[in-house]
Structure formats: C-alpha cells, structure tokens
C-alpha cells in the first residue's frame, strides 16, 4: 500500500483543498496529514497571540473533520523552519511516505523551506505542490512583455479577462477512507495565545462557509455604499479565515458568482471581487519581487526618508492615545479584537507615517503583532500603499486629514463612542475635536489633546519626502 502525506500549513480546511484532494485521489492509498507548529519562527514573523489561538482552534476543528473521514492528522512542534525540515523528512522516513502533497506559500522564507524539503527528500518521496491560496498562479497574469504588473488597474482587468476565459474550479472534500478515528485535543503551543470573540469570528470551516454565504447573499451588493463606514457591519470579516486557509479564494469567487452572476462584468458584487483581486495582486508581487519580504520598499528612493525615532509618539499611536478620535478608536478596536475596519487601516497608517513621520515598518510590525488576519502580502501591501513606498501606492503628497476622515466616515461618532467611552458626553458637533468642546465649556476631559498639529505635520512630511526624492536624483546624476 502506498502512503500519501498532506503537509498542512495555511490551508486548514477539507473543502476545496487542492493538496488534500490530490492525495486522496488514489482510493487505495493510505492518507496521513501533518501540521508542524514553529513557535520561534512565529516570533520572528510577529504572529499575534489572537492569530495563534485562531490557528490552534482551527487545527482542533480540522483534526476532527479529517478523523471523521478516517484520516489522521499528526501535529508536531519544533522551534523554526530549519527544524521543521528535519521533522518532515524524518516523519516521511518513519511512516514510509511515498508522496508528499502540499499547497504553496509565497513568502520568501516559506519558499526556501519548501525547496530545502524537496532537496532533502530527493527521489525517495514524490513531491507535488499546488497553487491553492490564489485564484490564479503568480506569474500567470503579466504584461505584454511578460512582466509583473506594477499598477493594479491593468492587473485587475487582465485578471478578470483570465477568469472569463476559464474559472478555477473548486474540489470537493474527500470521501471517508475508513472508519472514523478518535482524537485528542491539540496540545497547547509554546506560544502566547489570547482568547477570541467567537461572536465576531466563530470557529470552524462550517461557520466560515456560513459567513461567506450570508455576506454574498445581501451585504456584498451593498458593499460599495457601506464598506467605508466602520459603525456599519458592511464588510465581510472573512480575512482571518482566508489568512489561515479555512476558506479558499475559489470558494469566495464561486459563492459570489452564484449570488451575483454578472460580477465579472462589473455588476453587483464586483467591488468586493476587486478586494479579492487586490489580495491576489499583493501575492503575485511577493513572488515577482522577493525584496518585499525583506522589509524593503518597492520605490527605492523612499528608503532615504529621514524618519522620526520617537518612542513616545509610537506608543501613543499603538495605545490609541493620539488625541485624534478616529485614529484612537481604530487602534483600540485592533488592540481589543485583533481586527480593524479596512478604511481605518488606511487612516491610522497614514497618520503614523505622514503625521508622526514614523517608519512604516514599525506600523507594519505592530499590525502583525495584533491582527487575527495577519498576512504578510496583504499587510505589507497595505502599509506600503499608505506610506507611498509601494507599487501603485498613494502618491506621497496624498495625506489623510484624520479629523476630516472621521467627520466623513463616522459623522455622529457612533464608532468613536463605542471604543472611546470617555467621549460619551461630547456633543456630536465636537466628537472629532473634543478638546475644542472642553475648552469652550471649561470642563475637564479624560482624553489627550492632539500629539501633533496636522497642518504642521503635513508640511514636515512633504519636506521629508521631497528631500528623499531629490537626494535620489542627485545620486543618479553622478
């Protein structure tokens, strides 16, 4: 009897899992699953304690789902990727594995790890990898010169054209391969974990699929009008499930098409489809430009910006004590739930980089340390967009005004008051500038004054970026 091994990573599901489906295609093969936890690697990559707990809970759920089908999921814990290679090679030897099936990860360290595994196994084990976490494989959507797109809009148009030519199909969950197995709870990780609000992010593949169906039925159609208002439940909140592979992007696409058949032609649901394509764009970029995995900006001259080294300002931003209510409410939402509304991610990122003039990499790292949906490609892409350092980023002279952003997207302060109860008595007129109300009424206010003045900060930021750009021009003239 041949034995097939499925190496699970960020693909914790049984439905539409390309590696799992391929491993189970031979009805006579014994199929085993393996997940290798690497806590020291997670520390290096700043995985948040909430995402670690989300991962642990979904490993429990995956183990149970596989056991129902007679497939054992073995779980090992080693410090890092180097040790995981040794662990996997040894597991293959001990279990007489004939073929290894896994779904690709596109980050640089992960790709190097996988290459080392294949070399270590040599010809003893057949290795098969799959482009499972994307709709279209990286490198398959390119310009006429066969280069990766550097601007999103033409990439999106080419991407949708490819989808019209042929949709990526979903594969079904494997059939039972024997009697159901008994399982024990997954052992705790050697890593800090923080409990998750299950009302926001219920555990399990079925719960994730239910959330996807519910969103696609109605909210996806209203997404263009509601997605920018944080007090409204107008977004999908599916990103944590996509980050760990509890859902696949193909499931999202097919469910969206079922509810909104004209989505590829710009009809209802197309704005949310565009968000899925942004996710693809950033993943494709990681493969085309590995430097993005090394904390390097896409636009090289922006590395000459002279950032402020001010720990007090950084700490005020992290703790939600900047004196700008929309920024502070967003940061407290992040710190409490591990998630932040997408519009607010742009606002707080712009504030850190272009009001406080703090290196975007400090923000990128802090987000990863807090996010339940932490994902290198999306997080790096979003931060480089906000900092004007990335491909197709906001121009450096585009600087959000945090007060007007709050007035525009949380006019009466419903979201602000949810996260800043100390502003509960401030009238709507002053909820975005509470210090003005406190001064006018001569009342004490348990809320900080702005730590910077936006107009002055904007001038300083423009000067810093312009100086960096000119220094690059001078270097090129030499």
User: Domain spans of the chain?
Assistant: 3-130, 133-168+204-288, 300-472
Topology, domain 300-472: DNA Cyclobutane Dipyrimidine Photolyase, subunit A; domain 3 (1.10.579)
Contact 135, 279 (CB under 8 A): no
Consult the annotation and say whether 236 binds a ligand: yes
Residue 16: closest CA among 163, 132, 135: 132
Consult the annotation and say whether 375 binds a ligand: yes
Cα–Cα dist 379/168, whole Å: 25
CA quadruple 18, 21, 25, 29: dihedral, nearest 10: 110
pLDDT reported for residue 22: 98
Task: State the catalytic residue, choosing from 7, 42, 278, 301.
Answer: 278
Contacts of 214 (CB under 8 A, 6+ apart): none
Consult the annotation and say whether 276 binds a ligand: yes
Contacts of 35 (CB under 8 A, 6+ apart): 7, 8, 9, 59, 62, 73, 74, 75, 76
User: Taking the domain 133-168+204-288, which CATH number applies?
Assistant: 1.25.40.80
Question: Could you tell me the strand order of the sheet in which 126-130 lies?
Answer: 72-77, 30-37, 3-8, 99-103, 126-130
Which two tokens mark 94?
């001990």
φ/ψ (deg, to 5) at 464: -65, -40
Consult the annotation and say whether 144 binds a ligand: no
Question: Is 275 a residue of the active site?
Answer: yes
User: CB neighbours (10 Å) of residue 311?
Assistant: 10
Q: Is residue 168 helix, strand or coil?
A: coil
Task: State the catalytic residue, choosing from 360, 364, 379, 385.
Answer: 360
Query: For 316-354, b where at least 16 C-beta lie within 10 A, e where not — what string?
Result: bbbebbbbbbbbbbbbbbbeebbbbbebbbbbbbbbbbb
Question: Is 225 a residue of the active site?
Answer: no
Consult the annotation and say whether 385 binds a ligand: no
Task: State the catalytic residue, choosing from 304, 335, 342, 401.
Answer: 342
Question: Is 383 a residue of the active site?
Answer: yes
Task: State the catalytic residue, choosing from 42, 317, 339, 383.
Answer: 383
Consult the annotation and say whether 289 binds a ligand: no
Consult the annotation and say whether 237 binds a ligand: yes
Question: Is 301 a residue of the active site?
Answer: no
Interhelix angle 376-386/360-370, rounded to 10 degrees, is 140
pLDDT reported for residue 477: 62
Show pLDDT as tens, one digit a residue, over the chain (478 residues).
899 999 999 999 999 999 999 999 999 999 999 999 999 999 999 999 999 999 999 999 999 999 999 999 999 999 999 999 999 999 999 999 999 999 999 999 999 999 999 999 999 999 999 999 999 999 999 999 999 999 999 999 999 999 999 999 999 999 999 999 999 999 999 999 999 999 999 999 999 999 999 999 989 999 999 999 999 999 999 999 999 999 999 999 999 999 999 999 999 999 999 999 999 999 999 999 999 999 999 999 999 999 999 999 999 999 999 999 999 999 999 999 999 999 999 999 999 999 999 999 999 999 999 999 999 999 999 999 999 999 988 888 999 999 999 999 999 999 999 999 999 999 999 999 999 999 999 889 999 999 999 999 999 999 999 999 998 776 666 5
Consult the annotation and say whether 72 binds a ligand: no
Q: How is 35-52 classified by DSSP, letter by letter?
A: EEE-HHHHHHTT--HHHH
Task: State the catalytic residue, choosing from 275, 335, 435, 472.
Answer: 275
Task: State the catalytic residue, choosing from 307, 335, 407, 472.
Answer: 307
pLDDT reported for residue 478: 58
Consult the annotation and say whether 280 binds a ligand: yes
| CATH architecture of the domain with residue range 3-130 | 3-Layer(aba) Sandwich (3.40)
pLDDT reported for residue 472: 73
């Amino acid at each position: 009897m041949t034995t097939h091994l499925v190496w699970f990573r960020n693909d914790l599901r049984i439905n539409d899992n390309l590696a799992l489906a391929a491993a189970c295609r031979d009805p006579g093969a014994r199929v085993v699953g393996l997940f290798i936890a690497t806590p020291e690697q997670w520390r290096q990559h700043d995985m948040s304690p909430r995402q670690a707990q989300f991962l642990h809970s979904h490993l429990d759920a995956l183990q149970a789902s596989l056991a129902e089908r007679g497939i054992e999921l073995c779980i090992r814990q080693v410090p890092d990727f180097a040790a995981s290679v040794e662990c996997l090679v040894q597991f293959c030897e001990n279990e007489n594995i004939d073929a290894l099936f896994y779904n690709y990860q596109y980050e640089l360290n992960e790709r190097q790890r996988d290459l080392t595994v294949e070399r270590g196994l040599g010809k003893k084990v057949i290795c098969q990898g799959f482009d499972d976490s994307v709709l279209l494989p990286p490198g398959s959507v390119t310009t006429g010169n066969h280069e990766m797109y550097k601007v999103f809009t033409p990439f999106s148009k080419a991407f949708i054209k490819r989808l019209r030519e042929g949709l990526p199909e979903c594969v079904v969950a494997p059939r039972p391969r024997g009697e159901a197995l008994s399982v024990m709870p997954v052992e705790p990780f050697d890593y800090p974990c923080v409990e998750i609000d299950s009302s926001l992010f219920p555990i399990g593949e079925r719960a994730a699929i239910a959330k996807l169906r519910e969103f696609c039925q109605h909210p996806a159609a209203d997404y263009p009008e509601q997605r920018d208002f944080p007090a409204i439940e107008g977004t999908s909140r599916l990103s944590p499930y996509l980050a760990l592979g509890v859902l696949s992007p193909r499931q999202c696409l097919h469910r969206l098409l079922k509810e909104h058949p004209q989505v590829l032609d710009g009809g209802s649901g197309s704005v949310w489809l565009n968000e899925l394509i942004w996710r693809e764009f950033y993943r494709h970029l990681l493969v085309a430009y590995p430097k993005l995995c090394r904390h390097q900006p896409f636009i090289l001259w922006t590395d000459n910006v002279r950032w402020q080294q001010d720990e007090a300002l950084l700490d005020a931003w992290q703790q939600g004590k900047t004196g700008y209510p929309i920024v502070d409410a967003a940061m407290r939402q992040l710190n409490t739930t591990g998630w932040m509304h997408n519009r607010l991610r742009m606002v707080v990122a712009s504030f850190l980089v272009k009001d406080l003039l703090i290196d975007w990499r400090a923000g990128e790292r802090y987000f990863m340390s807090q996010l339940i949906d932490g994902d290198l490609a999306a997080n790096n892409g979003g931060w480089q967009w906000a900092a004007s350092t990335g491909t197709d980023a906001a121009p450096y002279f585009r600087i959000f005004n945090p007060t007007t952003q709050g007035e525009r997207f949380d006019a009466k302060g419903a979201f602000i008051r949810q996260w800043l109860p100390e502003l509960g008595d401030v009238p709507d007129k002053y909820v975005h500038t509470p210090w003005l109300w406190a001064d006018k009424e001569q009342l004490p206010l348990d809320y900080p004054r702005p730590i910077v003045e936006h107009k002055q900060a904007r001038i300083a930021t423009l000067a810093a970026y312009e100086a960096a750009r000119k220094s690059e021009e001078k270097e090129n003239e030499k």
